[in-house]
Amino acid sequence: MSAMPDRRWQWAAWVLLIVGFLTAVASVRALWRGHDSDPNLFALFLVLGTYIVAGMLLRITRKARLVVIAGGSDSPLAVAKSLIGPYAAGPVVAGPVVPDLLAATRSAQAAAAGLKACTAWQDAPRPVLADDLLPERAMAGDPSAREQLVEEIYRPLEEAGSALLETLSVYLEQASSLEGAARMLFVHPNTVRYRLRRVTDVTGWSPSDVRSAFTLRIALILGRLVDGDLQL
């Protein structure tokens, strides 16, 4: 593995960043474990902002961040799992896939914000996607996470019609009870069930899943706050 980026970065179709903390002693061979499982995958490892030289042992006296810039795969979770070996115990966050190296800053910012916010989700998987931490990132003050929740969840629901927003809101307020939501909306439970399926189709998040319901609730709150500000 070269210490510097090679020509593949010039035409990399997919790039993402993975952040976490480095173990006290790590070797590049350990860092690169898993590479052989995907011949199309290539990566650059950085510690404290420096390139790692192949074969060199790193003796870290304090907790140091390990940042991996990976290219050649459009599956961030699979890449993070294959390269997780040298990370110390604790959160490891994979940023979203971006088109090329020039857009890598967006993936880096999301991953870094996710690492900061991950402590709020104690049962988060390891590794975890930055996009799966959108609620925690938003509450920690990440403006891009707030914007993403509003633009990718609240706005599409708003455009799909008031019935979806109203049904989702009532369903969440009724502790995810179909019957309770149906009574509040004066409709049949099957109507609520159909509308919730539409919510999933529109947003990609399922109201019946506890984690997804949490994300949807935060998106609704943020969307209403934005709309409230626009009306002032």
> Exposed (0-12), middle (13-18) or buried (19+): which is 133, by Cβ within 10 Å?
buried
What order do you get walking across the sheet with 15-22 strand by strand?
50-51, 42-47, 64-71, 15-22, 93-94, 128-129
Q: What angle do CA 177, 118, 28 make, to 5 degrees?
A: 135
Domain ranges of the chain: 7-129, 143-231
Can you give the pTM of this predicted structure? 0.83
Predicted confidence (pLDDT) at residue 188 exceeds the cutoff of 70: yes
The conformation of residue 98, written as its DSSP 8-state character, comes to B
Could you tell me if residue 67 is left (phi over 0), alpha (psi between -120 and 50 degrees) or otherwise beta?
beta
Segment 80-93 shows an average pLDDT of: 88
Cα–Cα distance between 190 and 187 in angstroms, integer?
Answer: 8
Q: Which residue has the higher pLDDT, 70 or 157?
A: 157
Q: How far is CA 101 from the centre of its chain?
A: 19
Segment 11-21 shows an average pLDDT of: 74
CATH of domain 143-231: 1.10.10.2840
Predicted confidence (pLDDT) at residue 43 exceeds the cutoff of 80: no
Per-residue pLDDT of 119-156, as tens digits, reads 999 999 999 999 999 999 999 999 999 999 999 999 99
Q: How far is CA 210 from the centre of its chain?
A: 17
Q: How far is CA 186 from the centre of its chain?
A: 37
Read off the pLDDT band of 225 (50, 70, 90): very high
Per-residue pLDDT of 26-35, as tens digits, reads 544 455 544 4
Residues of the chain with pLDDT > 70: what percent? 76
**39 prior amide bond cis, ω within 30:** no
